[in-house]
Structures are given as structure tokens and as C-alpha cells.
Chain A
Amino acid sequence: MAEFVVFAVFALAALAGAFVMLVARNPVYSAIGLLTTMFSIAVFYVLLDAHFIAAIQVIIYTGAVMTLFMFVIMMIGVDRDEDTSERLPYQRPIGIILAIGFAGVIVVAGSGAWVTGSASFAVPDLNGTIETIADELFGTWTVPFLGTVFLLTIAAVGTIALARYGPTGPRPVDDGEEPT
């Protein structure tokens, strides 16, 4: 019961954080909403006995990534509110109706049995220790782990390709300074 209460509280917190992140006008509020969501997810990991992942979640996401976000937001400037006016008048009500309908489908589907048969192989005993995670990550999941190499390379190459394009055209390669 206690586990359920903790889950319910932090599930609502995660949803509220995600909602705030989307609708807040001030980017700092958005960042703090995202922080709430990420921290709540860390609590889910604790509930699932994945203590190491929970620690990683807090250190990397709520720690490092969010600090980076805040740093960028502060650099760009926090006083600029985003213009959230919409030119499609029916977009928002239709979106809300579809979202409610989608949530309804998920609730109806999820109210039945989840695992519809006996799982035919035993889930490895993940006690959340570093050893078991490493064993899974570098044993079973080696190829997907290495597959992220491609994604990270695309991030690097793509960022260089798109960001080197200034307002006046492609910037020269050895241009260390920002054009003004």
C-alpha cells in the first residue's frame, strides 16, 4: 500500500512537471517542471529496486543535464517570454479531446490483465547492483549499446553542419568568433 501511495504521488508529480514544462511561459519554470519529472522518474527506479539507476538518474539528469539547461537558459536570457499565441483556433480543443480519448483507451486497455500469459523466460534478477546492470548492458544489450554510437555521432556531425550556418550564409571553417 505504501508503495502504491508513493507511486501515485510521484506519478502525478511527473505528469504535472511535464505539463508545466509544456505550458509555462517562462523558460525557467519549464526547466523546473522538467526537473520535477526527472526526479519523480528517479523515485520510480527506487520503487523498482533499481537503486543504481536511480542514483544515475539523479546525478546525470537532475544534476548535470539540468544544470546545462539552466546555464543555456540564463545565457539566452530569461526575460523573453515565448509567444504562445496560436493561429489555428480549433487546434487546442481538438488536441485536448484527442488526448482525453487516448488516455481513455489506455485506461480501458490497462484495466485488464497485463502480462497475458506466464512469462516464458525468467527475468534476470536485477537487484540494481552495478554488476548485474553491467552484465546485462555489456552482455545481452551489447549491440544496442554500440548502436547509440551512431546516434551520438549524428548529434555531433548534425550540430556542426546546422549551427555553422550563420545569418549571412555558411561560416568559414576557421572562424572562431561569433559573427555580429
Chain B
Amino acid sequence: MQNAALLPIAPELVLLIGMLGVVTSAVLLGRDRREWGLIAGVALAVAAILAVMQWLLLGGEPGTLHYSARGLSIMRAPMVVMDAYSAFAGVAIFSLGLLGLLAAWDLVETLGDRGAEFVALLLLAVAGLHGMAMSSNLVLLFLSLETASISFYVMAGFTRDRIDADEAALKYFLLGSLASAVFVYGIALSFAAIGSTTIYGAGGIRDFFSNTIVTERGVLLVGIVMIIVGLGFKVSAAPFHQWAPDVYQGAPGGAVGLMAAGVKLAGFIAIGRVLAAGFAAQIDQWASIIAIVAGISVILGTSLAAVQTDVKRLLAYSGVAHAGYILTAVTAGIFGISAMLFYVTTYAAMLLGAFVIAGVVTGPREGPSSFVQWAGLRTRSPELAMAMAVLLLGLGGIPFTAGFVGKIQVFTAAASAGYLWLVVLALVTTVIGLYFYLKVIKVMFIDPVADGVGPIEASTTARTVFAVAVGVTILFGLAPWPLLDIVRDALPL
């Protein structure tokens, strides 16, 4: 294992090289050629294969730490951790990135000679997302978070001819910067209380808690709360969700799927790493905070989604509720990690699929996606309507979909941690949530078509993405055991 010192960061290096290849080829070959799409796709695929190699090389071992101070016999302040958790996250994130590139391709085609920058930013964003999963140090975690976030701020504002895209990008940037500032303040305060920003290794956060009886928690607790607030913003958990509907609605339709799904996926993986692995000893302190945030999220998300008349806003508010469902698993600490991973992976695929269909229905550059545009989708494109119906039922948690299995997993985890009130609350909101998912299905299948709209034809790239998403939804709904076996092993070091 010591010989493979570059392997933990190899996916990032591949993506960086791919990004440079994209920009260089855009300059050398001319910007109207589309070779850089192929380069980006290959880079993402190689990164995914490298993550699979990480998983296979670990072979069930707990994991290894990398990049610490040189020449020290004791591993001090390791920056990067390669464990089953980060390897699984890598496979999920890079696969999602590849799907996101395909989903954004309709948009890239319309961007003209600015498409290369978009693809380059997409690669950098995906590298940042994986960086969040492999960071063993809160400072590196913050850097990765910013790498992903700032790329997405720019991607949200790519269609500058629409004023609401500018608004979405600016709102995302301002609120995201505030959340990042809160996150950094949280890191600083927890550093003040502990004396280290590193999770693993001698003198790290875990080491500190195993050697020290913490008597006065003031600063530490405020630090943990602020870290939760910062990461809660990124995964749009209530009450830190206000940006999500406007950004999802305003950002270009082709880009929003990866923005929404990728940040959720990596954000929850980071939450799992920091709370369940890093601050595991303080679970009595933060589990109740997480439970309260989860409770607020499921109530607010469900009730606000029910009154929406725009599919993207509806998906945004339902995303708040889903953040709540996923957080119910986090209350169980390390025992909820597998459930969380199953839920967030399948949810990310379903969300990306739903957004790519929204992009096809209302246009890859467009933002708002009101119900009027969806009316009678069955007659305009039976294929899109069926795929969207399956994805919505999956998001709603109907049996024989991945969403149902995921919900059982996270609710079981929360119940075993003793948060029965939260499970009951989440079950009730799940049933209420079915209402607005079925409402969209009713609009697609029963409402009459608006005048003057013709049939819709999905491009091959978009079709690939939602076919995969539908496949994930049904396959892991009918036969979840292979993935359940994998996530059971994908625990942080």
C-alpha cells in the first residue's frame, strides 16, 4: 500500500489534467469543435475507475492515511484518508459527474464558444466534490467545499441573457459565501477547543477525544454547531434552505441537475465524515441538533413543496425534505452511515434524472418550469412522462423503488438510535409528500395539452441519463442487496 502513495489523489490529478486538456484543445482545435467533451468524459471515467481501484486495493482493510509531515515516525496531521468510505464516494461522485456531463450536454451545445469553460468548471467541481469525501483535515475539507461551490456559482450564472439566472448565481454566491464563512468560523472554534483540525492520526480530533475528558464544552459546541450550519446549507437542510428554490429555478436547466445532486451527495458524505467519524465521541451533543434540523427539514420541505406550481421549485423543496430524511440516519452516528450512503446515492441519481427531464421539457438554457409546460406530457412524449413518473414515485418512496428501500434504511437507523419521534414525523411527511409527487404525475397524464405545443424529442445524451436514473430507481428497488452489501462495508476509517 505504501507504494501507491499517489492513488488517493490520483482521481483529482486525472481531472486536473482533463481540465487542462479541455482548455488546451479548445484553444488549439478551435472552439466550435467538440473534442473537449470526449476528453472530459474520459477523464471522469478514468477517475471513476481509479476510485474502483482504491476500493479493490483496500480489500476490506480499514484504510490508510496519507500526506502528513515528512520524516515523522508517528503519522502527524494526515491530510488525506483513503478508506472504503472515500472509495465508495469516489465511485458514486465520478459516475454522477459523468452522468452530469451527459445531462449538461444539450446546454453545452447551445453555449457556443463558451462551452469549453463550462466543461472545465464541471471537472473542477467534481474534483472538489471528491475532495470533500477524502479530506482527513477540516482545512482541506473547506478548500474542497469551496472548489465545488465556486464552480457551481459560476455554472449557475452561465446563461446571462436571462436576468433570473444572474439573480440565481448572485444569490447562490452571497448566501453560499456566508455559509462558508460560518463553516470556517466553526472550524476555527473547534480548533480552539481541540488544538487540531485533523480528524485522524496522533494528536488529531479522534485522538483528542479518546485521551481527554471534555468538561467545558462551550467553544467546542458552538464550533460543532457552526460546522453543521455550514454543511447544512450546502445540502439545503432547513432552516438553511432559502437559496435552493431560487437557484434551482434560475440556473440553466442543463446544469442544475449536477449542481443539486452533486452537492447533496458530497455534502452528506462530508457530514458523515466530520460528525460520525471525527466528532463521534460527542454524538450525545450533536445528534439532538441533527434530529431537530431533520425534523424542521421534513416539515418545511414537505409543506412548502405541496404549494408549488413549478416543477423545479417543487424538486428543490422536496430536496429539503429529502435532506431531512437523510439526516435522520445521521442521528445514529456511525451506525447510520450505510443507510445514509444508500439513500443519498440513489436519491442523487433520481434527482439528476428528474432535472434532466425538466431540462428537456422546458429547454436546457431555460429556468422556470411551470406546470403549464408539463400539462399533457403523456401525449407529447410518452417516454419522458413515463420516466418522470417512475422517478417521482421513487422520490416519493413507493414500494419496489430505490426510494422506498432507502427510506426503510434511514428510518431503521434513526429508530435504533432512539429517535422514534423523528421516525414518526418523517413517516407522516412521507405520506403527505406523495401528494405533490402524484400532483405532477396528474399534470403530466391527465391535464390537457396547452395549445400550440408539439411533441418533444429528447436527445441521446439526455435519454441516456434518465434511462440510467430510471434503471437505478427500479433495479435497487427490486434488488437492493448488492448495493446494501457494498454500503455496509463502506464505512469511514
Residues in A lying within 8 Å of B, measured CB to CB: 105-106, 108-121, 123, 139-144, 147-151, 153-155, 157-158, 160-162, 164-165, 169-170, 172-173
Contacts and interface: CB of A to CB of B under 8 A. Distances in A.
A154 B112 contact: no
B105 to A, nearest CB: 17
Contacts of A111: 218
Given A144-B137, A154-B151, A139 B216 contact: no
Contacts of B161: 169
B35 interface: no
B160 A162 contact: yes
B193 interface: yes
B118 A161 contact: yes
14 contacts: A114-B192, A116-B219, A121-B195, A121-B203, A143-B9, A144-B140, A147-B131, A150-B128, A153-B16, A153-B19, A158-B117, A158-B154, A161-B114, A173-B113
Interface stretch (B69-77, B283-291, B387-395): B69-77
Interface residues of B, number: 63
A116 B203 contact: no
B15 to A, nearest CB: 9
Given A117-B212, A160-B117, A147 B147 contact: yes
A117 B213 contact: yes
Nearest to A136: B69
The 8 closest A-B pairs by CB, nearest first: A121-B203, A117-B212, A119-B195, A161-B117, A109-B218, A158-B154, A112-B218, A143-B79
Contacts of B195: 115, 119-121, 123
Nearest to B146: A151
A147 B193 contact: no
A116 B196 contact: no
A155 B120 CA distance: 12
B211 interface: yes
B320 interface: no
Interface string B183-196: 00000010011111
Contacts of B144: 147
A115 B143 CA distance: 25
B68 A109 contact: no
B211 A117 contact: yes
Given A120-B203, A157-B23, A144 B143 contact: yes
Contacts of A155: 150
B31 interface: yes
Contacts of B127: 150
A157 B58 CA distance: 36
B218 A150 contact: no
Given A108-B218, A153-B124, A154-B147, 15 more contacts: A110-B219, A119-B196, A121-B76, A123-B195, A143-B9, A144-B79, A147-B131, A150-B16, A150-B124, A151-B147, A154-B121, A154-B151, A154-B154, A155-B150, A162-B154
B443 interface: no
Contacts of B154: 154, 157-158, 161-162
A32 B76 CA distance: 41
Interface of B: 9, 12, 16, 19, 23, 31, 67-70, 76-77, 79-80, 111-114, 117-118, 120-121, 124, 127-128, 131, 137, 139-140, 143-144, 146-147, 150-151, 153-154, 157-158, 160-161, 189, 192-196, 202-203, 207-208, 211-222
A124 to B, nearest CB: 9
Contacts of B120: 153, 157
B458 to A, nearest CB: 26
Contact of B140 (A108, A119, A147): A147
A116 B222 contact: no
A114 B77 CA distance: 21
Given A154-B154, A158-B121, A142 B114 contact: no
Residue of A108, A112, A119, A120 contacting most chain B CB atoms (<10 Å): A120
A173 B261 CA distance: 32
Given A140-B76, A158-B151, A109 B117 contact: no
A139 B70 contact: yes
Contacts of B217: 116
B12 to A, nearest CB: 8
A121 B196 contact: yes
Nearest to B207: A120
Nearest to B203: A121
Contact of B214 (A114, A116, A141, A154): A116
B219 A170 contact: no
Given A157-B23, A170-B113, A140 B214 contact: no
A151 B76 CA distance: 26
Nearest to A105: B222
A157 B158 CA distance: 12
A115 B192 contact: yes
Contacts of B143: 144, 147-148, 150-151
A140 B211 contact: no
A142 B131 contact: no
A120 B124 contact: no
B168 to A, nearest CB: 13
